[in-house]
A and B are shown apart, each in its own frame.
Chain A
Amino acid sequence: MKLRYVFTVLSLAVLGAACNKQLDTGPQASLTQIKTFSDVRNALLGCYAGFQSSNYYNSPAASGSSSGWSTIPDLMGDDFVEALESLGNWRALSEMTYAADNGQVQGLFSQPYEVISRANNLLQALPAFSSGDNAAEAMQIKAQALAIRAMAHFDLMRYFAQDFGRNSGQLGVPYVTYFNAADPFKNLPSRNSVKEDYDSLYSDLENSLQAFRDAGDLSADNTSRTLIDSLVVHAIRARVSYYAAQWQAAADDAAIALDLRPLGSADDYVASFSTQTEGDPPSEVYWAIPSDNTLTPGGATNGPNPNYRVSSATSAVIQGLGGAYTSSAIIKFNQTGIGGYPRTLCWKYPGINSFKVFRAGEMILIKAEAEAQLGLDGDALADLNELRSHRGVAAGSESGAALLTAITTLRRVELLGEGHRWFDLKRTSRVIDRSDCGPAGGSPSTTCTIGADARGWILPIPVNDVTANPKLAQNPGY
């Protein structure tokens, strides 16, 4: 009969006991709220980590993801050729035949906004730390978040904006400055005009610089050059002004950047790609996306069977220039490949590597071109020859149109494989003429010429986004 009591107690206790506490479980491998300043620091690095995506600067080769700002722009332009080795995975991009449902295009549209939302979320969390011991560092973090936000918006404009005029009323991209984790379907933006985008870009970049002025620049903590300091903000602004044809502003910012970190020697140029010591002067690297033992920005351009090779025309130009540009550490000529086509391979990012987003070489080219556009041929030639001398290339004495041509040619060579060519074409001639195309040219891409009227020069807004947010106007032709 003892059992009787045991069971009575057991049954009543277990039947009746409300164990609400038992249901309070929580995640053990993810955070639900930014609480401490250490969380803020990690969240800032989280913004940067968005650039390591294979949609952004990483290029994981075979997977076919877009790697939109590292090597794809060279392939979409005329400096790289999609090789037979690629299996045709990038045909839609290299032939510019993407439609609004293209997954690679979706990646190009989503990833910068992913970075932007992280930056906005961080900016919204920062005011809680604006006083106290960490106030100065919080201000520096704000400066970086603003620059990151501007950078990502600018990269979106490069693909999706309808043009690049500083005061253009054409459609740019939505410039997003808020983040609402609880209701992502509220307050959906429409596309800003290109002018509005520029206004916001300049404002964010100026506020970033102001914050650095107020709180002091990053210094000791940016020896590896993986963070954005005021030098990088000037470089970003120089590039923005360059696209907007704001020549004086471009030249000014480029000059400030070059002042802070000038060109390196021909050897330094080569070394900056083959090692990961970009942080140590005399390296001319301003901002590098670190590899963290995973990033392979050159995954599609080097190795024994690369997906892209340098076009024969561009290869000839490089060989004509000589100097550091033909160093076997960064370019390999006359490699054998499938189908017996002689190949030139860009070898700037072998294996696991960081990606160099800004370098002094780009700045001096921006400065030179801006000066030429402003009619300051003498200054422009001096800058051009300065770059040539730092690359072991013979000096010249061009002027006028020839000078501009010399600058843009050197720009192609200096920045080969660094994600500029297609944007440069889009800003200028909008004509692609490929000599190596189709099976006869050793490429699965069969489109040999693309004219200025091709719809592909402006990427489509992904169909999912247009459906979810009907305020987003589609680009023409899609």
Chain B
Amino acid sequence: MRKLLLLPGFFLMALLAAAQTKEVSGTVKDSKDGTPIEGATIRTSDGRNATVSKADGSFSLRVAESVNQLVVSSVSHQQLVVPITGSVLDIRLVPSTESLSEVVISGYATRTKRANTGSVASISMDEVKAAPVASFDQLLQGAAPGLNVKNGSGQPGRNAEVVIRGRGSINGSVTPLYIVDGVEVRPEDFSTMNQADFETISVLKDAASTAIYGSRGANGVIVITTKKGRAGKVRYSYDGQFGTSTMPDNKLKLMNTPQKIEFEKNIANNPWGWSDQQFDSLAKINTNWYDAVFHAAPTQSHQLSASGGDDKTTFYASVGYLDQQGTAVNTGLTRYTGRLNIAHTDQNVKIGVNMAGGWSKFIGTDEGNSGVGSPLNTVIWALPYETPYTSTGDYTNSIQFPFWINPVEELQRNPQTSWQLKLTGSAFVEYKLPWVKNLTYRLNTGGDFSQFELFNIINNGTQSALQNAAFGQDYRGSGEVSRGLDRRFRYTVTNSLTYKTYLDAAKDHSLTAAVYSEFVRNQGRSFNYTGYGLLLPFPNEAGLVAGTASNGYIPIVGGGFPENSALMSYFSSLDYGFRNRYFVTLTGRTDGSSRLSPENRWTRYGSVGASWILSDEDFFHADFVKLLKLKASIGSVGNQNGIGEFPYLQQYGRGTYSGGGTLQISRLGNNNLTWEKRRTINLGVDYALFNYVVTGSIEVYNSRTNGLYFSPFVPSTSGGSGSILSNNGSMSNKGIEVALGVRIINTKNFKWQVQANYSYNKNTILSLPDHQDLQLVPGGVQALKVGKPLNSFYLVRYAGVDPATGNSLYYTKDGKTKTDVFSTDDLTIVGTSDAPHNGGFTTTFNYKGFELQAFFTYSFGNYIYNNALYNVAYGGYASSGFWVGGLNAWTTPGQVTDFPRIDENTQASTTRFLEKGDFWRLRNLMLSYSLSQAVCNRLKIGGFRIFVQGQNLYSHFSFLGFDPEVSPIQDAHSSSVNGAQYPALRTITTGVNITL
């Protein structure tokens, strides 16, 4: 790639000119951290001589005496013109994140940032890769404007929820498309991929950028490329870190023993009927159940990589290991990954293969439910006057059994284990057709295989087994083993022809035209079984006895086809540039999806984008403005993700009745089902001021989804719980995104720069089909209402407690009158769970080799329904572990308090349990020291860096819980904390990066 592009004639001239030449040498380094840049091209301003820098950044070049300037360029850095001021030059290049020559990778095509017309955010992998999280998408939070990322769970390996520019669909998917080296990857699979192998991340946000992905890109696209080999001496690197994770505080404070006894005696009418004598003995115990269930957990990761090659063949190889223990006992993730990327160029042909594999083992626990068997619930509902262990070291039985089981036993003895095998590979062939100049054919094929095995055990004799028997399922009383396998394979075949040329000799008119065809096929298969009667002493299938009619140990088998879809696409793009100053991009695409009926499965859409480098115009005279670029785009994309595999077909599901097979309506058909379409208008400005001291961008967008996928509530009389998917209705997302970077101090030894971004998104439901202009969200506390944002809460407003009666008071519909009668007539829209304001802020200080970086994220303007609070404030549960707020419960007439009388029937659908979700947090704080190049050279190593960092060290919020970030693990709409919250980890690690 970085071959010398010299014509033979120049060689001759260079030789002839040798007599009047001078030797120039020096080093090329990164202006930011001083690391040497390998492979930078150094050429003379007359274009006659050139060379490439070595691994240590050094170069030497013989140039004509008359030449007084060198042009230095590198893919990763901004081009620089250097005057030849001596025979040894120290050349510093500005990283290309601040440069217009940076390549924007938008999946199928790459463009320079200068020519790009769409909205694309690039995330520097260097900034985020060292953070010790197992799932890459967690790192995206606050990293670029327009991304709303919620991590929500601290369970090692859990993926985050990423929403780009607001939710565009109600029942369709809002998950962006992830593309790694041209191959789609499910976000769930990032826990088995090594993010240290990633090199570039581009977030495509507007239609001009995503239209090329067609229906797959409706929710935005995150394009990841992995590291490529670099020609030259093989470079070996080691990256490793060790650390500890701890649990953050829970703001949902629970009663300790003195408080609970006081509460039971004087407020809750002694629900267990304890005698005074019993109370006295209980008072001697005061257990903090968190201490028994959570602990400080070690985490470590190691990676070895090698990169090298010659001018024809390059390679990158890595192996990685991650071991992250969870803060809940006996949970964690162990991961092994490997990667090999090879590229080879031979005359007109370029071929390459990228292969990666990963193997993970998770031990996890239930999250996001309010089940009475989940340890993360029972730890909260535990009684402080009971203990986890008996005096003989056994797990204590509780008076609350079977509605409560010992969480320590459940975690220790009944682990939920799973293993994932993940293999991705892609191969490409690129062929410059020799008989048509500038025409390139490319075939890219990729496969993504994922196999997930789940193994759950409930050991005989554990409280969980006894609980199942107590609930009437005798056959489960002796333990059970279940195992499941979920296997998925996706392949993608993309063919393309690209024609790239200048239309005139002066090279004023540039043109790139490409046509593509693509076929994506998803297939999946799963099975599972559960066997009962774990009577033998083996914690696996060998422990099971055969089922008979009398013992009832009849295994249950299941399985299905989680994926079975195909997508066929034809598309083309046209890029035109004039004088490297005016740019136009056109895209058109047609998609056919197996998920829609044959009559409705094909659709077409396209986009047009334009940009103008205003600052390059002759009439532009504001010298402090180094760059001013205007851009605009409009386009539409379709969506057919997240709607299941055959949503248009009426279907009959299977079952058993009286030992015979049953067929019952499981889905109502809709032959008219078609594409959901999202149209986006994007306007943007990129700017650089004061010699690139201030850089940034501002974008505004307006997107509208039509034909909204929507599962309307089916009237019971028309088919009870049978669901149907329709597309009717529309929704808009409007927003603004601002990014700003300032190099406040930029001296040789001391540097200080800040980067900030902010996004605002306003979502509005514009219309819904017949009679559905207001619809309760099933099983929830939210409603869809025309004119209001998606995920709006629909609750009765709580108005405090009547001092006379102790009853809860509610505002009636008018918002003024108070009543103690809860009525669904008074339900009101009271705010949304999707935070309209999001962003991040980074500040970095460099002093010589030291760097201190703090990364903050923030989000505000949303509400969260706290079901976990409801479960410890519900009057009927006064006998369980209870919220300290219950101590203020009303007991006597005239008492002014905010907690109603305990024997009132607690209403759930009120704002009493609705809380603000605003937060800001110090997501990452890192202090590092890099050895200077001079020292490294003396030690004969490429580089050495040592760091210490902390994740989630501080969070500021008022929400009564562990964490105000709510992910779909808690609730499909990320709107409420259902229960069983696995707190986000607070992790401190220390590590090294060594390059040889």
Contact = CB atoms under 8 A, between A and B. Distances in A.
Contacts of A31: 651-652, 663
Interface string B904-943: 0101010000000000000000000000000000000000
A62 B471 contact: yes
Interface in A18-49: 18-20, 22-34, 39, 41-43, 45-49
B471 A88 contact: no
B665 interface: yes
A53 B669 CA distance: 23
Contacts of B601: 23
Given A10-B443, A22-B519, A184-B719, A444 B876 contact: yes
A27 B645 contact: yes
Contacts of A111: 720-721
B205 to A, nearest CB: 29
A11 B775 CA distance: 51
Nearest to A191: B717
A45 B824 contact: no
A351 B471 CA distance: 8
Given A14-B443, A465-B713, A468-B712, 16 more contacts: A26-B646, A30-B652, A42-B662, A91-B876, A109-B716, A110-B720, A114-B722, A118-B664, A181-B722, A184-B714, A224-B658, A303-B402, A305-B401, A351-B474, A467-B713, A470-B771
B521 A62 contact: no
A298 B472 CA distance: 7
A182 B669 contact: yes
Contacts of A478: 823-824
Most B CB within 10 A of own CB, among A89, A463, A468? A468
Interface stretch (A129-137, A289-297, A375-383, A403-411): A289-297
B260 to A, nearest CB: 16
B719 A50 contact: no
A446 B570 CA distance: 67
Contacts of A281: none
Contact of A292 (B270, B657, B714): B657
B662 A46 contact: yes
Contact of A180 (B495, B652, B718): B718
A401 interface: no
B646 A29 contact: no
B662 A27 contact: no
24 contacts: A3-B431, A22-B594, A25-B564, A27-B646, A28-B561, A31-B651, A43-B663, A48-B657, A49-B655, A61-B472, A87-B372, A101-B909, A111-B720, A111-B721, A114-B719, A184-B719, A303-B470, A339-B271, A351-B473, A352-B552, A444-B271, A446-B903, A468-B712, A468-B714
Interface of A: 3-4, 7, 10-11, 14-20, 22-34, 39, 41-43, 45-50, 52, 59-62, 84-85, 87-89, 91-92, 95, 97, 99-101, 103, 109-118, 121, 174, 176, 179-182, 184-185, 188-189, 224, 226-227, 290, 292-293, 296, 298-299, 302-305, 338-341, 350-352, 438-440, 442, 444, 446, 462-465, 467-470, 478
B994 to A, nearest CB: 43
Contacts of A62: 372, 402-403, 471
Interface in B762-793: 769-772, 774-776, 778-779
Given A118-B665, A180-B718, A469 B771 contact: yes
Contact of B721 (A42, A87, A110, A305): A110
Contacts of B268: 439
B715 A303 contact: no
Given A46-B655, A182-B669, A464-B776, A27 B717 contact: no
B881 interface: no
A97 B160 CA distance: 40
A46 B717 CA distance: 18
B108 interface: no
Nearest to B275: A340
Contacts of A293: 475, 552, 554
A42 B473 contact: no
B349 A3 contact: yes
Given A95-B905, A302-B472, A88 B658 contact: no
A338 B399 contact: yes
A97 B808 CA distance: 14
- 9 smallest beta-carbon distances between A and B, as pairs: A88-B876, A114-B720, A339-B273, A46-B664, A296-B472, A299-B472, A184-B718, A439-B269, A351-B474
A182 to B, nearest CB: 6
A181 B874 CA distance: 41
Contact of B822 (A34, A99, A302, A439): A99
Contact of A23 (B472, B475, B593, B653): B593
Contacts of B552: 293, 351-352
Given A19-B519, A84-B271, A101-B827, A181 B474 contact: no
A61 to B, nearest CB: 4
B132 interface: no
A84 B560 CA distance: 41
Contacts of A42: 660-663
A121 B475 CA distance: 36
B657 A92 contact: no
Given A25-B594, A31-B663, A48-B657, A60 B905 contact: no
Contacts of A115: 720
B775 A467 contact: yes
B433 A226 contact: no
A43 B657 CA distance: 11
B564 A303 contact: no
A7 B715 contact: no
A463 B776 contact: yes
B566 interface: yes
Contacts of A179: 718-719
B594 A185 contact: no
Given A29-B560, A30-B653, A303 B592 contact: no
B517 interface: yes
B519 A45 contact: no
Contacts of A185: 712, 715, 718, 769-771
B654 interface: yes
Interface in B727-778: 769-772, 774-776, 778
Contacts of B519: 19, 22
A354 to B, nearest CB: 9
A465 B719 CA distance: 12
B8 interface: no
A469 B474 contact: no
A112 B719 CA distance: 10
Contact of A340 (B273, B570, B657): B273
Nearest to A102: B824
Contact of A32 (B433, B650, B772): B650
B85 interface: no
A303 B823 contact: no
A200 to B, nearest CB: 14
B497 interface: yes
B270 A439 contact: yes
B670 interface: yes
A462 B270 CA distance: 36
Contacts of B561: 27-29
Most A CB within 10 A of own CB, among B272, B441, B495, B720? B720
B497 A34 contact: no
Given A34-B652, A88-B877, A11 B471 contact: no
Nearest to A115: B720
A184 B715 contact: yes
A174 B719 CA distance: 13
A439 B712 contact: no
Interface string B566-584: 1110100000000000000
Contacts of B909: 101
Contacts of B372: 62, 87
Nearest to B663: A42
A240 B677 CA distance: 52
Contacts of B656: 49, 292
Interface in B619-652: 645-646, 649-652
